[in-house]
Amino acid sequence: MKTFFEELSVDGHLQILKVSNDGKEEVLFDDHNIIVSGMGVGLAYLFSLSGPASILDYQIDRFQVGVGGSNALETIETFKLGDNLTSLEEYGENALLYVIEGRHAYNTTDPAVNAFFGYIPQHKVSRVGDSSVRYTITLDKDAANGLSRSGAEASINEIGLFMKNPMGDQTGQNQDTSILVAYRHFSDIRKTEDFALVFRWTINW
């Protein structure tokens, strides 16, 4: 018998563009993504009416990028990035990017942890078919530059999409508790102010 998650039949595709400051575009990545079990968790809360009453809490409206991506994380069980960006400074204080500080739920039993997310505004979410939605994420020239870990240069090589708040406020402090619903690892990209990165992520239902 198929599980609830297997019955969802959700898949997706990610394209990454490098856009130079002169407008020249280069496709760096174009392949499928991994839908993780958090998608099933979020939709189970929605369909069972056991989560928040507002449909807005089930929107995929935030993301994280990281520097610890690996093929080992490309499984349905993945619940977090290998090494996500951890501050407003890392995302870029002068970037044209709205950064949210909230909570990240690893599962439905352990306490959520503090985390930073990039916000995906509604005008960057569009229907591209009867059952497909595209999320356009832009790290502009001032975003995520000069990253480092333990004194060494670090490159962006992973990204994840998050559902806003399917389990409701877990803290009593009016904070969203988000869960990872899709993930992808890719080859290292050393981000600089010479270009922007555009992620076009399509989810098919």
pLDDT tens digits, residue range 11-52?
999 999 999 999 999 999 999 999 999 999 999 999 898 889
Angstrom distance (rounded) from CA 132 to CA 140: 25
Query: How much is the mean pLDDT over the chain?
Result: 92
Bigger pLDDT: 7 vs 131: 131
Split at pLDDT 50, 70, 90, the class of 96 is: very high
In this predicted structure, which of 6-20, 41-55, 86-100 has the lowest mean pLDDT?
A: 6-20
List, as own/partner pairs, every contact residues 120-126 make where C-beta atoms lie below 8 angstroms and the sequence separation is at least 24, other chains included. Answer: 120/60, 120/61, 120/62, 120/63, 122/61, 125/61
pLDDT of residue 168: 86
Which tokens is 68 given? 């610890």
pTM greater than 0.75 (yes/no): yes
Count of other CB atoms within 10 angstroms of residue 110: 9
